[in-house]
Amino acid sequence: MTRWLLRCAACGRERALEVGFNLLVFGGKIYLYCKSCKANREHLILGCVEPADICADLASGVSKSA
Ligand SMILES: [Zn+2]
């Protein structure tokens, strides 16, 4: 699992999301439910937060099965 930092493009609320895959494949944007907007909104993928070693691998394009 990797933790990602996302920001709602509509209201600017930031949230963390833990997933078992590389969010970079979505090209920087993903639709998720925003608690502030109370609707599905476009979220900007700000980056991978932790664990740092896996984030570094993802950023450098190294494919690793999670
Ligand atoms: Zn929002």
Handedness of CA 20, 3, 46, 6 (dihedral sign): positive
User: Angle at Cα 19 formed by Cα 18 and Cα 21, nearest 5°?
Assistant: 145
For 56-65, how does the pLDDT look when each residue is reduced to its tens digit (9 = 90+)? 988 887 655 5
Find the helix or strand (DSSP H, E) in which 52 lies. helix 52-59
Give distance in angstroms: CA of 64 to centre of ligand 1: 31
Phi, psi of 32 (to 5 degrees): -140, 165
Distance from residue 40's CA to the centre of ligand 1 (Å): 8
What is the whole-number distance in angstroms between the Cα of residue 62 and the centre of ligand 1? 32
Tell me the C-alpha distance between 10 and 29, whole Å. Answer: 12
Answer yes or no: is pLDDT of 66 > 70: no
pLDDT per residue as tens digits for the range 21-58: 899 888 899 999 999 999 999 999 999 999 999 999 88
Residue 57 CA, ligand 1 centroid: distance in Å: 30
Extents of the domains making up the chain? 2-59
